[in-house]
Structure formats: structure tokens, C-alpha cells
Amino acid sequence: MIPFSTLFFLLFLTSAAAAAAAAPGGFGNHTFEFDFPSLSIRNLTLLGDSYLRNGAVGLTRDVTVPTSSSGTVVYNEPIPFSDPESAPPSAASFSTRFTFSIGNVNPSSFGDGLAFFLSRDNDTLGSAGGYLGLVNATQLTKNKFVAVEFDTRVDPHFADPSENHVGLDIDSLISVETADPLSQGIDLKSGEQITAWVDYDHVAEILDVFLSFSISPKPETPLLSVDDVDLSEYLRGNVYVGFSGSTEGSTELHSIHSWSFNLTGEGALLIPRSTNPPHNVSDNSITIPSPEIPSSDSGNKNHKKLGLGLGIAGPSFFCACLVVFGFISVKKWQKTKGAEKAEQLVAAGRPKEFNYRELKSATRGFHSSRIIGKGAFGNVYKAFFVSTGTIAAVKRSKHAHEEGKTEFLAELTIIAGLRHKNLVQLLGWCVEKGELLLVYELMPHGSLDKALHHDGGGGGVLLSWEQRRNVAVGLASALTYLHQECEQQVIHRDIKSSNVMLDANFSSRLGDFGLARLMDHDKSPVSTLTAGTMGYLAPEYLHYGKATEKTDVFSYGVVLLELACGRRPIEREAESQRMVNLVDWVWGLYGEGKVLEAADERLKGEFEVEDVRKMLMIGLSCANPDSGERPTMRRVLQMLNGEVEVKAVAKSKPTLTFSCGLSLSLEDITSDCE
């Protein structure tokens, strides 16, 4: 309990602060600010391809096939930077801090970048590609803006210095000045969360840009500093602030994770008293002080103001205390219950709770040279434990926020209770220093994806037909266990070759349960946001967003075709440069009576013809657009082992028809993507 005297003192301070803010020259008269540790649709306007997911804004499409995209997010309310009637025109100083990431499922497919901008329009949405979503390709001078760009592709039209640069843009994408983040050890395309600070001093006419990884403090030296930059003509009257991003024939993904903004100077004094801040979620805050016109009277009127302030602030502060106390209590209870649940779930398998210092030492401080894999939710590091002489793999969550914690708990609670020879074994976990870490047994031969598609880059081993068949059987056995033999059915939702690991004997081990969902066997699937990787996703999952065991079967069928053909699910043809879907390609050869031509040429015919035909037919059967025609994983395992006949497959691929009357084939869903 808070002592009454302490409460009274706090109330007094609150009232005094309110009085100071209202007084002439008080601190409240000169600032406008907002602070969003996570982003909410209530505060923002989304344009183009931008979207909100788990407190972060994605500016471009989240796909795994190359595409062209542009999106914008704008703070809802205009900010009065200056009095447009003043002569000469005046401007306010501002500073903003935001955390962003630029990731990519395909590192060789990069571009184009994102930008923080200030504009007089709240409908800024430009073209894709090098235009960064800021300007229209056919009307380069239409949009008026000041922007700081974080560019990841060289565009000769705009005199870009490199594919990794930061620049100040004023009414043009030809930057006034640029800087190289690599000079401070920062790769914009690393996929890591990066924090940027943009500070503009209108008196000194200096704009500074600072950059660091999100776990580091603000650097002392700016990456980019531009002198003699007078923005008063560009920042007159009401100005909107926001972000834009774009891609062109790329899978690059641009995300904004947090954002704060502060305006100081004359412009802040123009915020009208009637301005109502947008409603915010609990962890967002906005401060909009309202100036008061001072009264010439004193004495009684001042006492009345103080009394009124106490009368209003007292109950408000008391309610705020109750809300804060309740929030902290609920959080503590949730944390305790979450810890208890994790302990109960892992008790049976007894995976170890590691010390953060131990894992940091084993991975040499999570050094980049120790990275052996990258996924949607973070990197995987090779760890060597000196004390025991053992080697393991440590999966480190990229984002230590609610989404990361959700995926982390999903993987921990699900895989801790599973036991099968074809599943990657969980050795332990760690939740310390704001980090989310999982420790797995190390798979000596890496992922199936790397083994199949090393493209002669050295170090790769060409899998023999017998090894490929064993991989197919092992993966089918693991999925049969997950779907039909667990106490609760597990839908993996992300079956793909990069999630299939190879042990010392080249046997398959299914891993990465970050997207998996537990389900009672007699329950219907719950509709969720579509998750997974393009090329492996079943058509009905893309359309309805419902994950079932049959969506896993479809993904398994694609992996089976990968094994037989040695081709990726979606590949670019060398001659035509068009994107070709593996399922369509194999089904086309099968319809022409030439299905054996789909076999991996690198095997040079060293396989049993009927064995290859069987695997191709089972793969097509699993990848049938009609989910009702797909076999169960138990049936697949029986077909692979020769216990039952292989299911007949239609010569032409069925067309998928949804209840809304929309007819779609897989080619329609993933076609061209130029």
C-alpha cells in the first residue's frame, strides 16, 4: 500500500506540473511528441501494400517470390511545423527515433529500400522500385517532401553511390548528401533491427542522422551530417510524417517496429487546444501540451486554478495508479503462469535451462562467422561448449518482442513434448537479457535445401537416390507421428526443404516448430493469418487461411518433388526468364507421358526407374489442388514402403474452384512474379 502522505505528495507534484504546463513560458508550451513502442492502426494511415502485424508495420508485400511493391504509413494527424503567415517563414526543430529492419528470404534478390519522410500530403504513395514509394514514376515533381532514405539498390537514374547507403532527399530522389552505413559496421540488408535517429536544428540549420543496431545506444557521432540545410520553405504549416518503402522484382521486406517523434520550437505552440490525440494502445503515449493565455489577475484566480488543478488531477492520478497497479499485477501473474506452464511441459523431456553467458561464450558472442542458418524469426549459430567439448545449434530470436515470444513459446512448448527419431531434438532453452534462445542438437550435414541446391558452390554433397528415398520416408514418418500419433495433433505449417535437417547418416530430421499449432484430433482447424513459404503453400490455405493436416501434406508433396527433380519449388527458366512452378512443370511432363524426364539429371540415371516414377506420382498426389483428394501421411508412408498401391493421378492437373465462384490454379497464385 502507498502511504497517504506519499500519495498526497505525488498528487501535489502532479498538480504543480499541470500548473507549470499551463503557466506562461512553462515547459509544455514548446513541445509536441508521440512515442509508439509498438504501432497501432488507431494512430496510423496505411497506404498501398503496407500492413500492420503484431505491432509492426510492413511496407512491402511479405512474399517469397520476387515481386514489385510499394507501401506507405503516415501518422494520422498533421503537425503544424510553423506559422505559414510568418515572414520570413519560420520552422520548428524536430527529432525522431525509429527502429526498422530490412530482411530477405533470398539474399541475392535485394532492393529497393525505405525512407522516413515529411510531406504536406497525407496520401503520399509513389511508384515501386527505385522510387521508394515516394514519387510517381511519371510525375517526379508531383510529391513535395523531405526524406531520409535507407537505400539497398544502386539506381543510376538517381546517382546512387552504392547498394547500401543513407541519404538526405529534398524534393528529389537524387540525394543532397549520402553516407555509407558499412563505415560504422551496419549492413542495412542484414535483417537485424536497426535504430535510426534523425535530428534537425532549424536555428543551426543542421540535419544529423545516427544509426546503430537496436540493442546499442545512440552513437556520439552521426553517420550523416548535412550543414546549411534550411527546411523552412519545405516545412511550412501542417506537415505529415511517415515512412515509405518499395521493391522491384525482389523479395526484400521492409518493416517499422517502433517510432517516436518530438517537435520543439514555434511550430509546437500552434497545436490547438482542441486537438484530440488518437486513441492508443496501452504501451503507446502521446503528449500534446496546450498553451494557456495568461490572465492579468492574480491572487484568488490563481488559487482557483490551483484548486481546479488539484480537483481534476487528484482523481485522475488515483485512477492512473490503480490502472498501473492492475497492469503490473496482471503481467506478473501471466509471467508466473507462463513460466509454470513451460516448466511443466519440459519436465518430462528434461531439456536444460542454459545460462545466457554460457551460450554467448559458446557462440563467440553470437559472431557472424558462427551463423549456420537463417530463418524468419532469427539466426542459427554453431555453439561449442568448452566445458563438455560438445557442439550444438543455438537458434536466436530476431525480435525480442511479443511476436518473438509467442513463436518462441510455441516452439518450446510443442517440441519439448515430442519424441521421434526423425525430429530435431531440443537440448534446452534460455530467456535472459531480453534474448529468446533455443538449443538443438547440431545436424552435421545442414539442411536438405542446401544439400539439394548447393549449385556446385563447393562443400555440397550430391545426395544419391537411396539417400533421397530415405529422407522422404523419414519425413513421412515424422509427419505421420505429428498428425496421427501424438496426444494432440500437431500441424507444422512450414514444411519445406530448409526445415528438413540431415544428421550424420543423412537421415531426415524435421525442425523449426515456430509456426506449428497444437490441435485436438476431434476439433476443426482455427482460421489464422497465413504463415509459411510461397511455393510450399496449399491453394486453399492461401485462400482461406486455415491450416489442416492436408496443408502439411501439400507441402510434403512439394518437398518430395524437390527430392526427385533436384529443382526448387519456384525457379526462373534460363531461356525465357519466367518463373516456373515445380508442381505445374512435373504435372505437364506427366500429361505428355514424359514424367521420367523430371528426374534430377545430376543423378545420371543411377536409380531404379520405377522407384523414381513412384516418388513423382506420390508427390503429385500430395500436391493435388483439391485437398480432399490428397492422401493422409500414414497412407503416404505405406505407399513409399510398398505396403499399398500408389494412388492414381489424373493426367491433367485439376483446377481448384472456391465456393465464391473464383477459379484458381496454383499457376494463377504464383505465376510469373516478374
Distance CA 363, CA 385 (A): 9
Q: DSSP assignment, residue 266?
A: H
Angle at 356 (CA atoms; ends 354, 360), nearest 5 degrees: 115
Judge whether 155 and 135 are in contact, CB under 8 Å: no
Distances (CA, A) of 286 to 36, 45, 408: 8, 17, 31
Grid coordinates representing 563 are 527430392
Grid coordinates representing 641 are 514402403
% helix / strand / coil in the chain, to the nearest 5? 30, 25, 45
Distances (CA, A) of 498 to 17, 93, 463, 510, 567: 57, 49, 15, 10, 13
What phi, psi does 659 have (nearest 5°)? -65, -25
Please state whether 433 falls in left (phi above 0), alpha (psi between -120 and 50) or beta.
left
Residue 291 burial (CB count, 10 A): 18
CA dihedral for 3, 9, 12, 13, sign (positive or negative): negative
Residue 11 burial (CB count, 10 A): 18
User: Looking at the DSSP assignment, which residues form a beta bridge with residue 385?
Assistant: 390
The C-alpha cell 505528495 sits at 9
Residue 283 burial (CB count, 10 A): 14
Q: Considering 494, 512, 552, 600, which one is annotated as catalytic?
A: 494
- Is 301 assigned to a binding site? no
Distances (CA, A) of 384 to 9, 107, 373, 435: 55, 27, 16, 19
Q: At what angle do helices 633-640 and 609-622 cross, to 10 degrees?
A: 170
Judge whether 383 and 430 are in contact, CB under 8 Å: no
Q: Which of 204, 250, 259 is nearest to 230 (CA)?
A: 204
| Residue positions counted in the chain | 674
Active site residue 494: yes
Distances (CA, A) of 156 to 70, 126, 127, 148: 20, 19, 17, 18
* CA Rg value for the chain: 29
Q: Which residues line the annotated binding site?
A: 395
Residues designated as active site: 494
Q: Which residues are annotated as a binding site for ATP?
A: 395
